[in-house]
Structure 1
Amino acid sequence: MLYVDGMNGVISHPETIQWLYTLVGSKFRLVVKTALKLLLVFVEYSESNAALLIQAIASVDTKRDCKPWSNAMEILHEKDGVDTELLVYAMTLINKVSQRRP
């Protein structure tokens, strides 16, 4: 029950989703990995959550004057020290959101 109650709290608080997406741009690998995993759980929880994540990403990247999904794209474009685990999580998140896109 805690999982459902907690997820409903996250759904109703867009700032939390924006914060998690901001963490995807962190320079610390474990922070990025954890943020990607949490966003994956969020998107998989309900189909409508993909739209909420898209809105959060648009909000964050507009404030930063960047293109949408810039944090995830930086992971995919990273040349040095390629971390395959982060690549898999980033691509999985992009695929799940695009699959559930309204």
Structure 2
Amino acid sequence: SQLLYVYNSMVADNQAPGPDECNLSKLLIKKAGKSQSGVLVITVLTSPYPKVGNKVQKFSCQWNCYYCPNEPGQPRSYLHDEPSVLRANRNDFDPVRQFTDRAATLAMNGH
């Protein structure tokens, strides 16, 4: 993403050939298949303890399947080291901040 940023900056300053003249920008896009269909999915997770008014409730599935992770402080069925869970924790489970964070990352990667 840093190379793509530098390349785009150089194109803007007329220091490098534009995307019409070379395929460098296409080569620098990470995981180009993510946006080729025209649809990008951004995962937003809810808090494991959502607030309803002034009341904090424990949000959990009514079932207790043995294969479903149930880590403390994490949404049910998600592991603490998954990218979307890391992003949700980093943004305090705020959906707008999660979306903005992920959208900025995708933009930096050329999507």
- TM-score bucket of the superposed structures, by smaller chain: under 0.3
**What is the TM-score when the length of structure 2 is the normalising length?**
0.23
Q: Greater helix share, 1 or 2?
A: 1
Which structure has the larger Rg?
2
**What is the TM-score when the length of structure 1 is the normalising length?**
0.25
